[in-house]
Amino acid sequence: MGEEVTYRVGIPVLGLRGETLGRLEKILFSESRHLVTGLVVRSLESLHMIPLEKVTSVSGTEIRTTLTEQDIRQSSVFDPTQYEEVPPWFFPPGHHIELGALVTIKPLDIREQGEEACRSRRAFMAKSVALLATAIGVSLVVPIGGYIMAAATTPVTDNWRNLGVKLQDLPLDEPVQESFRAVSVSGWMRVPEERSVWLIRHSGAADPWSESEDQKKNLDSPLEKNDSDPRLTVLSPICPHLGCEPQWHKGQKLFICPCHHSIYQLNGNRIGGPAPRPMDQLPVRIAPDGSISVIYEQFAIGIAAKVRLA
Ligand code: FES
């Protein structure tokens, strides 16, 4: 792969027959050889290493390999203690690492360069990190403290969120955007976030918009299928193209994404623009008193399949 290669964390890694083996998690880089040597793939709950020789193509939306599911199961499990994380600028020209990618090199590579080089590089990295940490710490201590306190005091029970809205209070065939506070969990961090969903109460089970388009196209998982209601569609606010937020235009009765003008109907059906699939439907439950609860889920963007992000 001599041409420009873009690695985007989270895109699917496909097997020999096009089946999804997992998702790209990290890129392995040999510092001494100045080469990308392998990829780390998240498959279910494990991280597996696959050598670059098994990769046949890398695009912005998928990585194709010559592996099978059995190969993945038998491949080495990634041990983070044996690797060191480095910034994307360590990578050779021609390898574009998207922001957010975690990059690792083998410590062995550092030793191969000699103790002196190792010490000076480590000293430089340590100083840079210390300086950066001090600057960030000074400027963010108050907001971060606030976040931590809020995270510690925000109750988290399960994934279902009662929105505090009742079905009978929603207008008919007119989307309403409801916001709520949630806690995003990443590793040990629990960060409170403001989230929102679109609620669309339908005028009748027989009307053509009563079923969301991704349900009709069979994109939904059993969870979304089981937890749906013909009286109400709940749509994610995130555009499946590149993640902007489509807005409801009352006059045109359409959702229009301001970024690249994907256009969607009331039931999320895409009728124009570059988005690869309809707006994503979310699971919903309606209690006997009309209270609405949803599960806020996020899905991979830029691909036709509706793939839930962990
Ligand atoms: S992000 Fe919505 S159309 Fe591109």
Distance CA 121, CA 173 (A): 61
Instruction: For residue 195, give the nearest of 228, 166, 154, 229 by alpha carbon.
Output: 154
Distance CA 211, CA 281 (A): 10
Q: Is the CB of 9 under 6 A from ligand 1?
A: no
Which pLDDT belongs to residue 273?
A: 85
- How far is the centre of ligand 1, averaged over its atoms, from the C-alpha of 56 (Å)? 29
CB 8 within 8 A of CB 24: yes
> Which range marks the domain in which residue 39 is found?
5-112
- 88 and 100 housed in the same domain: yes
Q: Judge whether 300 lies within some domain.
A: no
Which pLDDT belongs to residue 111?
A: 43
**Residue to mutate, 241, 256, 279, 301, ligand 1, most ligand atoms under 8 Å from C-beta:** 241
- 19 and 95 housed in the same domain: yes
Distance CA 200, CA 246 (A): 14
Q: How many domains is the chain built from? A: 3
Pairing between strand 102-105 and 20-30?
parallel
Residue nearest to ligand 1 atom 3, measured at CA: 260
Higher pLDDT, 199 or 45: 199
Confidence band of 259 (pLDDT split at 50, 70, 90): confident
- 165 and 273 housed in the same domain: yes
Q: Is the CB of 48 under 6 A from ligand 1?
A: no
Here the CATH number for the domain that contains residue 73 is 2.30.30.240
End-of-domain residue from the set 51, 85, 112: 112
Residue nearest to ligand 1 atom 1, measured at CA: 242
- 73 and 57 housed in the same domain: yes
Q: Judge whether 251 lies within some domain.
A: yes
pLDDT in tens, 268-304: 988 888 899 999 999 999 999 999 999 988 899 999 9
Q: What is the mean pLDDT of residues 62-86?
A: 84
Instruction: For residue 195, give the nearest of 166, 223, 234, 143 by alpha carbon.
Output: 234
Confidence band of 124 (pLDDT split at 50, 70, 90): low
- 127 and 166 housed in the same domain: no
The pTM of this model reads 0.50
Q: Which residues contact 254 (CB under 8 A, 6 or more apart)?
A: 248, 263, 264, 265, 266, 271
Q: Judge whether 74 lies within some domain.
A: yes
Percent of the chain exceeding pLDDT 70 equals 67
- 193 and 216 housed in the same domain: yes
End-of-domain residue from the set 153, 182, 204: 153
pLDDT in tens, 208-247: 556 677 777 788 888 888 888 888 999 999 999 999 999 9
Q: Which residues contact 284 (CB under 8 A, 6 or more apart)?
A: 227, 228, 229, 232, 233, 234, 292, 293, 294
Q: Judge whether 304 lies within some domain.
A: no
Q: Is the CB of 52 under 6 A from ligand 1?
A: no
- 200 and 284 housed in the same domain: yes
Q: Which residues contact 54 (CB under 8 A, 6 or more apart)?
A: 65, 66, 67, 71
Six-digit token string for 57 = 């193509």
- 77 and 147 housed in the same domain: no
Q: What is the mean pLDDT of residues 20-30?
A: 84
- Mean pLDDT score across all residues of the chain: 78
Which pLDDT belongs to residue 113?
A: 47
Distance CA 7, CA 27 (A): 8
- 28 and 57 housed in the same domain: yes
- 196 and 283 housed in the same domain: yes
- Which of 17-21, 36-40, 135-139, 242-246 is least confident? 135-139
Q: Judge whether 306 lies within some domain.
A: no
- 76 and 183 housed in the same domain: no
End-of-domain residue from the set 112, 140, 172: 112
Q: Judge whether 291 lies within some domain.
A: yes
- 187 and 272 housed in the same domain: yes
Q: Judge whether 302 lies within some domain.
A: no
Distances in Å between the Cα of 3 and the Cα atoms of 73, 93, 139, 199 are 30, 10, 41, 45
- Which of 160-169, 200-209, 237-246 is least confident? 200-209
Q: Is the pLDDT of residue 149 over 60?
A: no
Q: Judge whether 309 lies within some domain.
A: no
Instruction: For residue 232, give the nearest of 285, 306, 298 by alpha carbon.
Output: 285
